[in-house]
Amino acid sequence: MKTEKADKRVNILEAAEKLFSELGYEGASTRQIAKEAGANMSMINYYFGSK
């Protein structure tokens, strides 16, 4: 269970890193990050609170 949660968190971080490098911090939205990570918006809020 902990591994699955950690994997989701890592997927979100990797997606954010990719999109930030491509689009810049201001250009990347949390919706884009969630889509890239295969997660939903509530997962980003759960793990990080915001962008």
Evaluate if residue 47 carries a pLDDT over 60: yes
Tokens 């902990």 belong to: 2
The one-letter amino acid at 5 = K
Tens of pLDDT, residues 2-42:
677 679 999 999 999 999 999 999 999 999 999 999 999 99
pLDDT at 17: 98
Which CATH architecture does the domain made up of 2-48 adopt?
Orthogonal Bundle (1.10)
Euclidean distance between CA atoms 37 and 40, whole angstroms: 8
pLDDT at 2: 63
pLDDT at 28: 97
Tokens 């990050």 belong to: 33
Radius of gyration of the chain (CA): 10
pLDDT at 5: 67
How far is residue 3 from each of residues 17, 32, 39, measured CA to CA in Å?
21, 24, 16
Query: Cα-flanking dihedrals φ and ψ of residue 40, to 5°?
Result: -115, 170
The domains of the chain are located at: 2-48
